[in-house]
Structure 1
Amino acid sequence: MTGLLDEHPHLGVEPVLRELHVPSSTYYRWRQAEKEPCERRRRDAELTDRIHKVHDESGGIYGSPRVHAVLKREGTRVGRKRVERLMRQAGLAGISPRRGKGFTRRDPDGELAPDLVERDFTVNMPNRLWVTDLTMITTLEGPLWLSAIRDAFSRRVVAWETSARADADL
């Protein structure tokens, strides 16, 4: 309705409202809300900005439960459903963990590799300790194996490689 009156100002506000059976108070309240959004909409805009920052800081991984937890930890009082709604409206979504079978099982007859760091992954300089992991990614062409090496100090990926097979070469 506001678009109609904006495009055709020569029609006049009151005749159009009468024809559409819309009270003039409703029209002027809509116009006022366009200029000055209510406190809830202003707060939603602030929360959406904060949610974007938390989501981006997580690398786009966090969904609404984790974003809500981060906001709560930072002292922001907001409901979980409100975070869900704002994330949905902003087009933000987390990455769901892999479901079902697909985790690594240890060979009971295999020999364990020695624990050279004795489960202490703290380091005070870069390039002193690198850790690696092997991950299977399901694709339409079959499994894709990703091996990534990370620096334990900076937590940055130092090297990575993909392969169709999870073998010693990978």
Structure 2
Amino acid sequence: MSLRYTERLAEAGIELCVGSVGDSYDNALAETVIGLFKTKVIHWRGPWRSFEAVELATLEWVDWFNTRRLLEPIGNVPPAEAEAHYYAQIEAQAWAA
């Protein structure tokens, strides 16, 4: 099954994006984010009346997680702001060169 899957991805021009064998760090990060989401949204704000309500809450949480939450390790700024600052520095360096 996995060989067929890999072949099909190659035919479609899609590269696999998986960790190396025995490297669980990428999976651990995903599970941590999913656990945080379930704790802060699914369990905290439930019970849910509809699929649409869960979908809207998910969109709101993802927006907050990516654009507004403050991260201490990067200077108490949101991830989107830190990323914009990083790329602005890269662009400034390119223009200076």
TM norm structure 1: 0.20
Q: Greater share of strand residues, 1 or 2?
A: 1
Q: Greater share of helix residues, 1 or 2?
A: 2
Structure possessing the higher radius of gyration over alpha carbons: 1
